[in-house]
């Protein structure tokens, strides 16, 4: 079985999409969700070498997302793996 460790999630302006990345991969967040649905095992890196299981879930709007523990580097305070908002300054 394939296991990939997600270390972060960011907005890629070249692709105009959210991407997840680890030591040896970088892919669109949507592709990671497809792979997770197909059985690829994802884990999320956290502090002090901790790892948390990543699962497919839904947010409060009914959208499919990747979820994990809130301590993971790639997760927000709800445990959702999403890119931080892009702030545009005038």
Res. 88: pLDDT tops 90: no
Percent of residues, the chain, with pLDDT higher than 90: 78
The pLDDT tens digits of the residues spanning 38-69 come to 999 999 999 999 999 999 999 989 999 999 99
The stretch 69-87 carries a mean pLDDT of 87
Give Cα separations from 28 to 8, 12, 13, 37, 61 (angstroms): 12, 9, 12, 14, 21
Considering the chain, what is the average pLDDT of its residues?
90
- pTM, 2 dp: 0.85
């Amino acid at each position: 079985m394939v296991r990939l460790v997600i270390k972060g999630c960011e907005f890629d302006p070249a692709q105009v999409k959210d991407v997840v990345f680890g030591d040896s991969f970088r892919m669109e967040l949507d592709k990671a969700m497809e792979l997770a649905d197909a059985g690829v095992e994802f884990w999320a890196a956290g502090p002090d070498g901790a790892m948390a299981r990543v699962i497919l879930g839904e947010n409060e709007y009914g959208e499919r997302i990747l979820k994990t523990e809130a301590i993971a580097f790639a997760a927000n305070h709800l445990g959702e793996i999403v890119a931080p908002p892009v702030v545009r300054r005038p």
